[in-house]
Every structure is written in C-alpha cells, then in structure tokens.
Amino acid sequence: MSDRDQQNPVERYPRPEFPQQDQPHPGDTDRMEPRPDHGEETYRGSGRLQDRCTVITGGDSGIGRAVALAFAREGADVLFSYLAEEEKEARETARIVEEAGRRAVAMSCDIRDEAECRRLIDRAAGEFGRIDVLVNNAAYQMAQPDSIEGITTEQFDRVMRTNLYGMFWLSKMALPHIPEGGSIINTTSVQAYKPGPHLLDYATTKGAIVTFTQGLAQYLAERGIRVNAVAPGPVWTPLIPATLPDTSRFGAKAPLGRPAQPAEMAPAYVFLASQDASFITAEILNATGGTPLP
C-alpha cells in the first residue's frame, strides 16, 4: 500500500506503549524510538509554493523539519532558525531542503533576544529579498508535575520569551518584507484550549498565540496578508523525551490512540501558506487526533 492509498489513521503510525526514554533538552531525533517521520519517504510536492521565500523558526527537528521538507518539495526556498546546541539536527534539515533542489539557509538564533530576531529577519531579507511566508514555530516547554510551585521565574520567563516575545518580534520585523499575498503561520496547541496542569506556563502561551493570531489577522487583512495558526495535539518530536517525565503512553489519550508524526502536521502549513487558502485568515486549524476544540 502506498502512502497515497486510503489508510486507517489509527494504524498508520506506531501506537503506545513506547519505550521509556529520557533525553537532555532539546532532544535528539536519532535517539528516539520509534524515530519520528518527517515525510522523508512519503511527502510529494506539486508546486503549491513554487519560488516562495519562507522563514521557519525551530526548523531543525520535529514539526519545523517536516514543514521545511514539505515547503521545499512544494518549490520554496527555506531559511530556518535553530539553537546552537541543535547544529547536528539543523544540518540534516538543510540537507533535506537542498536534496529537494531548493535553497537552505540554516541560522543559529535564540529568538528570546530581540536583537537576534532582528538579525534573523535581516538575514532572510538579504538572502531572499522578501519573505512570502513566516512560520513562527519554535517553542519551549518543561513539564512540572508538582503544580505551580515547581515553575521557577527563570522557566516562566524562558517559556514566555521563546513562545510569545519571539513570535511578536519576528512578526513585527518581518512585515516590511512580506508582500501582498504573503502570510504568517503560528504554531499554537491543543493545550491552548485543554491545558494540562503539568504544562501550565506553556499552555498559557499557546492560548495567547490563538488571540495574537486572530487579532493580527484582522489588522493585516486590508494589506492582503493572511495570519493563521495550526493547533497540533500530541506530536512525537524530540521535545517529548526532553521535557516530559513519561513517554511510554504519550498520545494514548487522543481519540485516534496515538501521537501524530511531524509528517502529519506539515500539510496543514502547506495549505495555509498556499493560494488554496486565499480566503482563510484568522483561523486556527486544529490537528488534534480527534480531541474536539472550540
């Protein structure tokens, strides 16, 4: 059966239980069992983003890598950010983009810093001349199962600055370089609507991303720039063994009975970035494996 044949989504990818696995942050794709699928063997493009110039934060692994792969196979050039400790992962994403025949620009950047965000946007504008699609995907989480008392001010600040400040700065700085017809796509989460107490600070930021997306979309509509977001449910990425205490049953509570693979998220970003979504803005595309959201 090929990937384009109709398949039972419950059985398409591995289901828990998984081996218990713990990794230091930010995690390593190659050490995960099962290994995440980014669409390396399955995603086939059809020119939906031909010659688009795109920027993806957190493009080294997980959802970001899958989106970079899909964008490149749809004909887009990709500049993506990564943390310095993720250089090995970033090299693999760059290889995948270049293998698709598109330009890959990998840039080490900590989006918690406003000056770093400015450097990222300036680099993208210099490399490409414009930014057709900005994907604000990078995020930080760290589970604290002992309630709010376990969240330090340092952790709270890191979550807020990575997930919210970076998105705000990059969106604001990118706007002079986004032409009519361009778009911004943010990554929110099922946690925005159904917050888990062990991810209280992370869930708070994801709720704010929903509000930011819907508000900014209205502001930019008259300029012909669309703003949308994707709300994934549980997704099997290196962030999971690096930030959650129990990986063995991860995703088991989703109605489909398993976590998503990054490859299953990428088509949502492609759709929102493409001309097919020209009348879609201020929307949250929920990809939760069956968990109902507002």
> For 78-87, what is the mean pLDDT?
97
In a domain, 101, yes or no: yes
Query: pTM for the complete prediction?
Result: 0.97
**Angle, alpha carbons 273-274-280 (nearest 5°):** 75
The CATH number of whichever domain residue 138 belongs to comes to 3.40.50.720
Percent above pLDDT 90 for the chain:
96
The pairing of strands 77-82 and 53-56 is parallel
Q: Is the peptide bond before 154 cis (omega within 30 degrees of 0)?
A: no
**Angle, alpha carbons 133-280-77 (nearest 5°):** 20
Q: Coil, helix or strand for 7?
A: coil
Q: Is the pLDDT of residue 1 over 90?
A: no
In a domain, 128, yes or no: yes
- Going from the C-alpha of 262 to that of each of 19, 66, 213, 267, 294, the distances in angstroms are 19, 6, 22, 10, 23
Residue 63: the pLDDT is 98
> For 65-89, what is the mean pLDDT?
97
Give the residue numbers annotated as catalytic, written as ranges: 202
Residue 294: the pLDDT is 79
State the chain's mean pLDDT as an integer. 96
Contacts for 32 with CB less than 8 Å, ≥ 6 apart:
21, 236, 238, 241
In a domain, 177, yes or no: yes
Residue 12 pLDDT level (bands cut at 50, 70, 90): very high
Higher pLDDT, 6 or 141: 141
Residue 147: the pLDDT is 82
Contacts for 15 with CB less than 8 Å, ≥ 6 apart:
251, 252, 257, 258
In a domain, 271, yes or no: yes
CA 257 from centre of chain:
22
In a domain, 293, yes or no: no
Q: Does the CA dihedral 148-151-157-162 come out positive or negative?
A: negative
In a domain, 130, yes or no: yes
In a domain, 138, yes or no: yes
The DSSP code for 260 is: B
**Angle, alpha carbons 155-289-283 (nearest 5°):** 75
In a domain, 236, yes or no: yes
112-156 pLDDT, tens digit each: 999 999 999 999 999 999 999 999 999 999 999 878 999 999 999
Q: Coil, helix or strand for 287?
A: strand
Contacts for 188 with CB less than 8 Å, ≥ 6 apart:
206, 207, 209, 210, 213, 229, 230, 231, 284
234-292 pLDDT, tens digit each: 999 999 999 998 899 999 999 999 999 999 999 999 999 999 999 999 999 999 999 99
Residue 103: the pLDDT is 98
> Domain range spanning residue 234?
48-287
Residue 2: the pLDDT is 55
224-241 pLDDT, tens digit each: 999 999 999 999 999 999
Residue 59 pLDDT level (bands cut at 50, 70, 90): very high
> For 47-73, what is the mean pLDDT?
98
Say how many domains are in the chain: 1
Residue 182 pLDDT level (bands cut at 50, 70, 90): very high
